[in-house]
Amino acid sequence: QVQLAESGGGVVQAGGSLRLSCAGFGGTLSTYATGWFRQRPGKEREFVAAIRWSGGATYYSDSVKGRFAISRDDAKNAVYLQMNNLKPEDTAIYYCAAGRVFGREAYDYWGQGTQVTVSS
């Protein structure tokens, strides 16, 4: 069972960049699919990006494709979300999650989230 902790959120102006980190504890993230999700104000939680446990295959939602990049550093037991060209509609709480299925659903372990605010 892995525990997850996100960091790197903050306030940024539209067009700016942030990098979110997800650190794994008590388990090896490289043996899981790891995903990023977000919950925007007044909205349900939605899928953002995922990376597979081996080979590094990635998958993105259409709303972030070309602007966000997910990556992993197995030596640090961490997964990252590089967010570029941020828009006010990217404002949300961002969560990382780990599971045994690579895709948009079926994640078993979740972090507490980190707030990202994009000002116009």
- Give pLDDT tens digits for 100-113: 988 888 899 999 99
Nearest to 4 by CA among 116, 97, 118: 97
Rg (CA), the chain: 13
What is the predicted pLDDT for the residue at 106? 86
43: exposed, middle or buried (C-beta count within 10 Å: 0-12, 13-18, 19+)? exposed
Q: Using the Cα atoms of residue 95, residue 101, residue 104 and residue 108 in order, give the sign of their dihedral.
A: negative
Name the stretches of the chain with pLDDT < 70: none
DSSP 90: G
What is the predicted pLDDT for the residue at 53? 87
Cα distances (angstroms) measured from residue 107 to each of 14, 45, 58, 67: 30, 13, 15, 23
